[in-house]
Chain A
Amino acid sequence: MKTFLTIIFLTFLNITYAVDNVHNHDNHEHSSSAQGLSTGTVDPKGGKIDVNVFGLVCDFCAQAIQKVFMKREEVSGIKVDLSGGLVAIYTKQGKDIDDEDITTLIVDAGYNVDSINRE
């Protein structure tokens, strides 16, 4: 019982720390060199595709999206925003993935595409 209470106490400290450190984007913007990618890099001469995805609720979902897209040679980096249900795909210079391929990859990973927007 003592061990369990210790675990509870440490977890409470952990929650307190995590709540204090939840990232807030309201008052600032990231520079392009520090866009908080989930994985990979941003090719400054490449493109960016924003995909609104339904069903992203946890890190396992985000990891799945990250893994399937990083296998594609056109992709330089991925950013998954769970709160917004948004996946940002950064492509390499001169490379692109068409909407149909993006939709297939996301559906095959177990999720649904709401919309795809390109910059």
Chain B
Amino acid sequence: MRKLLLLLLFLSTEVASRPVSYPGGWTFMTMNDGHKYSVHTHYSPTANYSIGYKGEFWRSGDYQIHALQINNLLKRWNKQHAQANIYLKSGIGITYSDYNSFNSETDPVFFTGLAADWETRKYFISYENRITKSNSIVDNFRQKARIGFSPYVADFGNLHTWLMLEVSHVPEDEKNFAYTPLIRLFKGPSLLETGYSSEGKFLLNFVHRF
């Protein structure tokens, strides 16, 4: 099992929000969706993988993850007016919690997941999942999907606006499905998303590519 996990790590990737940039590109992301707040910054030596730091602060469970994350582009389809991708995103690091019986406990943690997306200049579909496992603090599976459209098509450098619906599924939660209508504003190297979920939580994501 350990060998399999190590193998997955080195094959690993990250999906949604374009987890791999152009050769020599840096990306900074911050995501806040009610379950967690995360920061991820990565460097892409080639257009096929990126490597970087991922920090997550989970509200439910009150634990943190600090990890080295590798995102691999497994497959890309480039069409005249469309692009589709499959990524593997994985990380290894430590998790920390002082919640309930955890007395400032620190655990090694591993996560991996697949992500896929298809996008034209007007339509967008994506799916991603992730398994996260540590010795005692974290053991969960999560998945989410998105569908969206752009009400108008703008040139490069102008403001792009997307309206999307995100459905997330967390089997361990009492209400295990959540629905988040959101707005994505995209201009040049920056992307901002905001939404409000069926659980009454705000979503606020920001991505900047250098």
Contacts and interface: CB of A to CB of B under 8 A. Distances in A.
Interface in A7-28: 7-8, 11, 14-15, 18-19, 21-23
B69 to A, nearest CB: 19
B185 A14 contact: yes
Contact of B79 (A22, A55, A83): A55
B176 interface: no
Interface in A61-119: 61-64, 67-68, 80-83, 85, 108-112, 114
A64 B185 CA distance: 19
Interface residues of A, number: 37
A23 B191 CA distance: 21
B34 to A, nearest CB: 13
B201 to A, nearest CB: 11
Contacts of A62: 156-157
Contact of A67 (B18, B25, B46): B25
B25 A57 contact: no
Contacts of A108: 23, 46-47
Contacts, number: 108
B196 A1 contact: yes
A33 B40 CA distance: 41
Interface string A20-47: 0111000000000000001000000000
Contacts of B151: 15, 19
Given A7-B194, A22-B152, A54-B80, A110 B73 contact: yes
A1 B22 CA distance: 38
Given A15-B161, A59-B187, A110 B76 contact: yes
Given A15-B161, A110-B47, A54 B185 contact: no
A25 B119 CA distance: 25
Contacts of B119: 57-58
A111 B83 CA distance: 9
B188 A85 contact: no
Nearest to B159: A18
A83 B202 contact: no
B156 A38 contact: yes
A60 B209 contact: yes
9 tightest Cβ-Cβ pairs between the two chains A and B: A55-B78, A64-B22, A110-B47, A62-B156, A54-B78, A112-B78, A4-B196, A55-B83, A19-B152
Interface of A: 1, 4, 7-8, 11, 14-15, 18-19, 21-23, 38, 54-64, 67-68, 80-83, 85, 108-112, 114
Interface of B: 18, 20-25, 46-48, 73, 76-83, 119-121, 151-161, 183, 185-189, 191, 194, 196, 202, 209
